[in-house]
Structure 1
Amino acid sequence: MTQQPTVKCLVWDLDNTLWQGTLLEDGDVDVPTAVREVVRELDARGILQSVASRNDHDHAWERLEKLGLAEFFVLPQINWGPKSASVRAIADQLNFALKTIAFVDDQPAERAEVSHHLPEVRCYRAEEVPELLSRPEFTPTMVTADARNRRLMYQAGFQRNTERSEHTGTDEEFLRSLGLELNIHRASEEDIARVEELTLRTSQMNATGVHYSDEALRALLSDQRHEVLVASLTDRFGPHGAVGVILLERLTEAFHIKLLATSCRVVSFGVGAALLRWLTDEAALAGTGLTASFRRTERNRMMEIAYRFAGFEEAEHTQEGEGIRTLRLAPTRQQPPAHLRVLAPRLFAEESGLTEWRPTTA
């Protein structure tokens, strides 16, 4: 039997589900302590939560604010339309597959309506809420620091997207206004869980689609021939968290990129291109070549385009097995992106700490 994927977002009904009573009839509704604990713990596990409720939006949201729970819910759908339409709208805006969405409601008819229109969404009775924390689908195998801050990062993302849509200048001007800072650092033991998560969850911007286990990554940390690098991004709205991973092997004739993966959330900020340009500049400074492993998958066309745009070409007679090809580039000095401040280690020297990548006239 195939194990169901971990739930990425739980959508709550309100009346007689999140809170006891019916808001329009009882007025003074409250949330049981056990339910509050479920909301807070799911948030701590990195599982997003939203609302699909038949209610007056302003009245219901005001009540959630008074109850001190409004901050935990993203993209609430409080209206008089079908619950299935609300759940689909939440999934679409989060860009989550329906099989990663769960819905909880006290009314059998509402659960049936959602199941009929969205059969991949898992539905739960209100009576099951206290048991959710013990269920495997609500128990991620790893809870990283980024996972614990996932809701805050998504909320910052919504604010960022709203401002972007209202911006009247060019996209380049908007990117410059964000104060973007890309921090590339050597992974520590504490980073490994997030690095593994990136190799597992990232598909569109993953150069090989290879998953590196916790054990394999820790072995690379202690191998002097390898660099395990983590890229994190921040801007004036807050942190994006860890958004990229580079596994680099120091060969005699080249720096070899065994894996480059970045989160799809930061494609529009040019992070993947910035990482490739930085690696190219580091290789040029070190006086060595630059090669990269690449395996075409059903979803990583964008990553292939990024490599080609950076100037990589397929090397002759370099099949690495399992469909992986070697791409090659003759490195030349590169300029940092104008919209992005980059702090990174020096790969060609024994220096510790981070250095700002600055424009060069060479």
Structure 2
Amino acid sequence: MRPTVRCLVWDLDDTLWQEGVPLPSAVHTLHALDRRGILHAATGRGDHTPALDRHGLGELYLARRFGSHRAPAAVRDLAAALDCPVGLVAFLSGDPVALAEVSSVLPDVRCYPASTVERLPELADFTPAVVLPADRERRQVTRAEQRRGAAEEEHAGTPASFVASLGLELEIRPAEREDLPVAPFLRSGGRMFDTLELCGRHAENGQEVVAASLRDRFGPYGVVGLAVLRGEGTSTALELLVSERVLSLGAAEAFVGHLVARSLGTGRRLVVEFELTTANRALLLLLRFSGFSIAARPAGRMTLAVDPLIPPARRRSPIRVLGEGVRPMRRRR
């Protein structure tokens, strides 16, 4: 079975409108797919922006290419604008020529005639096996990224001053099962976790899975970090997964700093088993800056630890950490 469509490009000239009014069936499809995390983009010969805004549909179309573009070029540009692989894009149009051109030039794009607009939510291509909270927030996260990027381009100060202006808030809390599917997309200090394994860890007594969610004045980033904590005698073993896209914001450092402070506050030594690769070198630097030192170097790996007797210095951060919801570490029975 091929993967679910992530982005639907609408040729608005022939699919959304009927005598200047949105078709109810098309509006239903817009909202149904949006709730499943499928993003919408728009193309067309004329500028449909005023009409979209007038009918309250503008927020649903995250990228637009209006004008005399050839359909394949417009679809390719819109996919790139939303960072979506072409193989996860679908094209909806009432123009047989445009559909034929896209099928010929971009054979991985799934093409649908306008007559199918009402039935799209029933098709397997548009029906994920599971719809998670992160999927339902995909449009809001993408829109926030767009607004954030535009603001950064207009910012006259330094990158650090722009980060300070974002009003970043990091919520650290017990992970829910709905948070765990993000794990394969996060960077770890060793092997990667899959969702099923983390679900097992989540349910196992004596272990704790913690999630970190980030947001700023533009909106949410989603879950940007997960940590598995396990009591071992007087130590706490930490397995850490973080999003690379927020390393430069200091969010991962704030997450690690919170876990370090919490562990040291209970008198426990925090330990990480780390397998260095080219891909996770930035994560190693993050741990070293957060107070971890190399305690041992077993074959092909290293053991990093924070000594409770030598706590790391507190570092200033532009991020407000909300962590009251994380429960104390449970001991094994």
Q: What are the ranges of 5 or more consecutive residues in structure 1 without an aligned counterpart?
A: 21-27, 320-324, 352-362
Equivalent of 1:14 in 12, 28, 51: 12
Q: Secondary structure at the match of 2:213?
A: strand
Does the 8 Å contact 2:254/2:317 carry over to 1?
no
1:257-300 Cα deviation digits (max 9, x unpaired): 234133x5534423223323333333444444333355678xx8
> Quick one: structure 1 residues 141 and 229, their matched pair in 2 at CA, closer, same or farther if it must change by over 3 Å?
same
Residue aligning to 1:271: 251
Distance 1:140 1:261, change over 3 A: farther
Correspondent of 2:82 among 71, 77, 94: 94
State the Cα deviation string for residues 6-47 of structure 1 (Å, max 9, x = none). 211111101222224xxxxxxx32332211111010111111
Flag the structure with more relative contact order, 1 or 2, with Cα contacts below 8 A and sequence separation at least 6. 2
Q: Percent identity?
A: 31
Q: Which residue of 306, 309, 324 corresponds with 1:330?
A: 306
TM-score by length of 1: 0.79
Question: Which residue is 2:68 aligned to?
Answer: 80
Q: CA deviation at 1:348?
A: 9.6
Deviation, structure 1 residue 152: 2.0
Where in structure 2 are the equivalents of 1:1-362 lying within 5 Å?
A: 3-20=1-18, 28-55=19-46, 57=47, 60-187=48-175, 191-195=176-180, 197-200=181-184, 202-203=185-186, 205-207=187-189, 208-213=191-196, 216-262=197-243, 264-294=244-274, 301=279, 303-311=280-288, 313=294, 315-317=296-298, 325=301, 327-331=303-307, 332-345=311-324
1:164 counterpart letter in structure 2: E
Q: 1:79 to 1:209 in 2, by over 3 A?
A: farther
**Residue identity matched to 1:342:** V
Equivalent residues of 2:174, 2:327 under 8 A apart: no
Q: In structure 1, how many angstroms separate the alpha carbons of the residues matched to 2:140 and 2:325?
A: 32
8 Å Cα contact 1:274/1:336 also seen in 2: no
RMSD of the alignment, in Å?
Answer: 2.8
Query: What is the CA distance between 1:162 and its match in structure 2?
Result: 0.8
SS in 2 for 1:65: helix
Q: Deviations over 1:207-235 (max 9, x none)?
A: 4322031xx54543443421111111122
Give the Cα separation in 1 of the matches to 2:267 and 2:59: 51
Give secondary structure in 1 for the equivalent of 2:4: coil
Amino acid at match of 2:285: R
- Segments of 5+ residues of structure 2 without an aligned counterpart are none
Q: Give the total of aligned pairs.
A: 322
